[in-house]
Structure 1
Amino acid sequence: MTAFTLPGLDLGKFVRETLAEDLGEGLPGGGRDVTSDSVIPADARFSGVMDSRDAITVAGLPLAEAFFRHLDPACRIETLVAEGAQVAPGTDLMRLEGRARALLTAERSALNIVQHLSGIATLTRAYVEAMREGSATCTLLDTRKTIPGLRFLEKYATRMGGAQNHRMGLWDAAMIKDNHVAVAGSVFEAVRRAREAGVTRIICEVDRLDQIEPALAAGAHHLLLDNMDAATLAQAVRIVAGRAATEASGGVNLETIAAKAASGVDYISVGRLTQSAPAADIGLDFTPL
C-alpha cells in the first residue's frame, strides 16, 4: 500500500473513529459486529471486487484500503484504477482478499467514503466540462460548504474532479462578505481594516458594480462577483481590467456556468460540488474462499 497523506487529515484517527462509530464502541452492548461475529466462522476468508455501476470519476480508494487494512493488516488488496480516473459503468475498481469477518465489518465504512467522494468528484468533473464550453482558461473553485469533519476529504475529491480549492477555512484568507461590510460600514472600510491588520490575501464580495472601485482602492486582491448574470459579469471584468482576480459566484448550475465563464472571469465557485453531490453507485461483492 502506498501511504495516503492529506494535509489536515489524520487518516488513522479518521479510520478508527469511523469504525468505532459503526461498532458502537463505548455503548451498552457495543464494540463488535454482532452479525458477522454470529454468522461468519472466525477462520472464514473472502475475496471481493469493488466496482462502479455508473460512469464516475473515482476518488477515495486509498481510504477504502485503509479501512480494510485496519481490521485485517494481512489482507491482499489490488487497486485497479487511479484516483481521478474517469471510468465506465461496470469498471472494477479494487480486488481484495482476506478474513471474512474483518472485510465485512469494514465494508460499509469503505464503501460510504468511496461513494461519497466519487460522487463529489463526478459532479465536479461535470461542472468542469460544462465550464469549458464557455472558456478554456476559467478555473472552477469549491467552497466551505462541506460536511463538518469531512472538509479536507471533500476538497480532495473536488481536486480529483478537476477543480481547484478555494480557501480551506477561516484562517488562510480574509473573505469579506455583506455581513462584514454591514458592520464595517462600507466595502472600502472593511477591506482597509483587513489590509491594515496585515492580511496577505483579501477576497471581497461585491454584488454591485459601484462597489468594485472602492474594493480595489482599499487593496482587495480578489473580487467575488456575487449573483451577477453573464452580461453584468463581463462588465465587471472590464472595470477590474486585470487589477485583481475575478470570481463569479451564486446562481451557478450546469446550464449557466458556460455563459458565466465566457464573461472573462478568472474563477467560478460552486457550493453544490460538496453540498449537493449524490453518492456514486459503487458496489462490493464477496465470494467465500
Structure 2
Amino acid sequence: MLTRQIIRKAIRAALEEDAPYGDITCAMTIPVEARGKVRLVARENGVMSGISIFADVFREQNPGIVIVPAITDGDAFTVGRTLAEISGPVRDLLTAERVALNFVQHMSGIATMTAAFVHAVAQAESVHNRHRPRTYAHTRIADTRKTIPGLRSFDKYAVTCGGGFNHRYGLSDAVMIKDNHVAALHDQGIDMAEAIRHIRERVGHTMHIEVEVDRLDQIGAALAGGADTIMLDNFSVEDIRKGVERIDGRAIVEASGNMTIERVPAVAAAGVDVISVGALTHSVRSIDLGLDWD
C-alpha cells in the first residue's frame, strides 16, 4: 500500500510545509557552491524502517544529492552505527535534513516497538500450560487504524518492518462490527447473528467479516452468524482462554485492548491467533537518529 505515488506526495507536502518560501537561513549564510558530506548515525539501538524514504527526501530536494544506505528496512542496528552517507550541495542537505529525519525516526520507532512486541510473543513458549494458536504457527502482532492522519501507509509499512502484520487499512477493506455498531443494531431490534447473516448475503464472497465482543456471552451469536474473526476486546487472560475454547477453531481469534509487552506472552499463550496493538502507532516514540557532518 506504500506506493511511489503516496511517498512522493507526502514528501513534497512535507518539504513544502517546512520551507514554503525557501530556507532563509541557508540562503543568507551558505555559499551556493558549498558541498558537504554527512552520515546518518544511530544514537540508540533500534530496527530500521524508511531508509529509502529518507533517501527520497534528499533526492526530491535535489536529484544530484548522492545517498549510500548502509542498512535495509527490517534490519536491527546498534548505537553508533552509520546507517547511510549523504553528499551534495550543503544548502540542500541542510534544507532537507529535518524532513528526512522526521520520516525515518518516526518509522523506525514504530518498527522498533513492533519488534519488541513480536519478541514478547515468543516468550509465550515459556508460559506454563500454553495453547498453540489455531490458525497460524505463531500468534501475530497486528496494528490498528490508530495512525497519524495522512501517514497511515507509512505507519503500517513500518509495522511490517518490525515483524508485525497489518490489520485492515481502512473502513473500505473489511466488515468490522464493533461495540457501537452492536449497540446501534440493538436499538433497532436487530441481534448480532442476524446482522452478520444479513451482511454475508449482501457482500462479495471475498469480504472478511470481523465482530468485536466484550463479553463471553456474545461469542455464541458471533459464531451463529458466521463471523470470520472474533475479537475479544478488553478481556482478562482467563476470559481470553475461555473465549478461545468456546470458539474452538471456528473463527480466527483476535485479542485487543490495553495490550502491553508485559501482557502479550500470557495472551499469546492463551491461544489467540492475532493480538492487535494500537500503541504501535498511536503511542510510539521516535528513534534517536542524527546527521553527523564529516
- Shared fold per TM-score greater than 0.5: yes
Q: What's the counterpart of residue 251 of structure 1?
A: 258
Q: What is the aligned-residue RMSD (CA, Å)?
A: 1.4
Contact 1:9 1:152 in 2 (8 A): no
Alignment map for 1:60-209 (pairs within 5 Å): 60-135=50-125, 137-185=138-186, 186-198=191-203, 200-209=207-216
Moved over 3 A (4+): none
1:280 matched to 2:270? no
Question: SS in structure 2 opposite 1:97?
Answer: strand
Q: What's the counterpart of residue 28 of structure 1?
A: none
Alignment map for 1:11-90 (pairs within 5 Å): 11-24=7-20, 31-90=21-80
- CA 1:166–1:268 in structure 2 vs 1: closer, same or farther (change >3 Å)? same
What do the CA deviations read for 1:192-230 (whole angstroms, capped 9, x no partner)?
232122152100001111111111111210000011111
Question: SS in structure 1 opposite 2:124?
Answer: coil
Q: What's the counterpart of residue 219 of structure 1?
A: 226
Shift of 1:8: 8.4
- Percent identity of paired positions between Structure 1 and Structure 2: 44
Residues of 2 paired with 1:252 and 1:14: CA distance?
Answer: 30
Question: SS in structure 2 opposite 1:248?
Answer: strand
Query: 66-75 or 31-40, which moves further after superposition?
Result: 66-75
Shift of 1:10: 1.9
Residues of 2 paired with 1:7 and 1:212: CA distance?
Answer: 38
Query: 203-212 or 131-140, which moves further after superposition?
Result: 131-140
Query: 135-144 or 226-235, which moves further after superposition?
Result: 135-144
TM-score by length of 2: 0.91
- CA 1:132–1:10 in structure 2 vs 1: closer, same or farther (change >3 Å)? same
Residues of 1 paired with 2:6 and 2:273: CA distance?
Answer: 33
What do the CA deviations read for 1:23-43 (whole angstroms, capped 9, x no partner)?
12xxxxxx1100011110000
Contact 1:8 1:152 in 2 (8 A): no
Alignment gaps of 5+ in structure 1: 25-30
Question: SS in structure 1 opposite 2:220?
Answer: helix
Residues of 2 paired with 1:47 and 1:247: CA distance?
Answer: 48
Residues of 2 paired with 1:188 and 1:63: CA distance?
Answer: 45
Shift of 1:13: 1.5
Residues of 2 paired with 1:68 and 1:162: CA distance?
Answer: 27
- CA 1:120–1:47 in structure 2 vs 1: closer, same or farther (change >3 Å)? same
Question: SS in structure 2 opposite 1:134?
Answer: helix
Alignment gaps of 5+ in structure 2: 126-136
Shift of 1:9: 5.2
Residues of 1 paired with 2:54 and 2:258: CA distance?
Answer: 35
Residues of 2 paired with 1:59 and 1:122: CA distance?
Answer: 9
Residues of 1 paired with 2:92 and 2:227: CA distance?
Answer: 53
Q: Which amino acid aligns with 1:23?
A: A
Shift of 1:244: 0.5
Residues of 2 paired with 1:92 and 1:161: CA distance?
Answer: 20
Residues of 2 paired with 1:9 and 1:161: CA distance?
Answer: 23
Equivalent residues, number:
277
TM-score by length of 1: 0.93
Q: What's the counterpart of residue 128 of structure 2?
A: none
Residues of 1 paired with 2:6 and 2:25: CA distance?
Answer: 29
Q: What's the counterpart of residue 129 of structure 2?
A: none
Question: SS in structure 1 opposite 2:101?
Answer: helix
Q: What's the counterpart of residue 10 of structure 1?
A: 6
Shift of 1:183: 1.3
